Structure 1
């Protein structure tokens, strides 16, 4: 009986490996791909070989973590837009530094653990972006530890951040502990 099941399983496996009709095959990235949605600038980005924007993005994140507004001031343009969880900021650098100082008052022992970072530039060299994935740990105003997974997508112009999209994923379960040696 086991031999029959084995042969049936092999026959099903071979049948599954047969060439599928084009409409059932997964799209390929090479050649003429057919996506479920139209992409305005499909494949219009390349990895940016210049690491300057990554250094600026990392410095800005470190400045936020440590509350170093002097360093943060060097990383952002004279005017910028920041979209964050629950709102957005659009205005000058000076007012942004004041807003950051106020926001940091609610976070004690802020720690950031960067997971990954990617710098890209459009093929026409008109647009530059750095995306950073990280986990942020802090103690809230009630004295409870909290954490969130974060993604920052920063747009650059002339080596400075002009727009930043800040995405946050909070947890309904108790927060993850900060990495050892970081409290």
Structure 2
């Protein structure tokens, strides 16, 4: 008889624990609705995990760029695209952007990218999918100078096409000798 009492006590504890845990998770989710944020974002803060096929599109684009295949890198760009970079803004036809990027890539002998991570998010309120990437890019130019930057890229995709490529950079401090 003792084993069945012990079993019943364990089951009760298990169900009680699960119920409290579920209530705690529900409370965390609902708590953002009660917060009074000092700013209003352009996108709803209630996003969902996006389809990782979009990250694959962006990563394949960058892989082709590294290999020097700028035209191939732009295969999944929309016909009209925006590209935002440090002191650079382009909004126009894909072919024009390819010409600009080909000149930039042509000045480099080698390019590598070391990724920290990436994340795909979907915003139901706007039906937008964004891929955010965090990485270090290193390159050697034709004069033999080596350099690197830290990037955070936000890429907007719709129907498998890149509409906006927005890169933000951080310079590394010059090493002291």
TM-score range, shorter chain: 0.7 to 0.9
The TM-score with structure 2 as length reference comes to 0.74
Once the two structures are superposed, residues 11-36 of structure 1 have per-residue CA deviations (whole angstroms, 9 ceiling, x without a partner) of xxxxxxxxxxxxxxxxx954512333
Query: Where do residues 20-169 of structure 1 align in structure 2 (5 Å cutoff)?
Result: 30-48=32-50, 50-124=51-125, 126-169=127-170
Distance in 2, Cα, partners of 1:45 & 1:69: 32
- Counterpart for residue 15 of structure 2: none
- Gaps (5+ residues) in structure 2? 1-29
Distance in 2, Cα, partners of 1:106 & 1:90: 23
Q: 1:33 to 1:42 in 2, by over 3 A?
A: farther
Secondary structure in structure 2 of the residue aligned to 1:169? strand
Distance in 2, Cα, partners of 1:116 & 1:125: 24
Structure having the larger proportion of residues in helix: 2
Secondary structure in structure 1 of the residue aligned to 2:156? strand
How many aligned residue pairs are there? Answer: 147
Q: 1:137 to 1:61 in 2, by over 3 A?
A: same
Q: Is the 8 A contact 1:114 1:134 kept in 2?
A: yes
Distance in 1, Cα, partners of 2:112 & 2:159: 29
- Gaps (5+ residues) in structure 1? 1-27, 175-183
Q: Give the CA RMSD over aligned residues.
A: 2.1
The TM-score with structure 1 as length reference comes to 0.72
Once the two structures are superposed, residues 39-92 of structure 1 have per-residue CA deviations (whole angstroms, 9 ceiling, x without a partner) of 3434231111x2210110101111111111342132211110100111111111
Distance in 1, Cα, partners of 2:142 & 2:121: 37
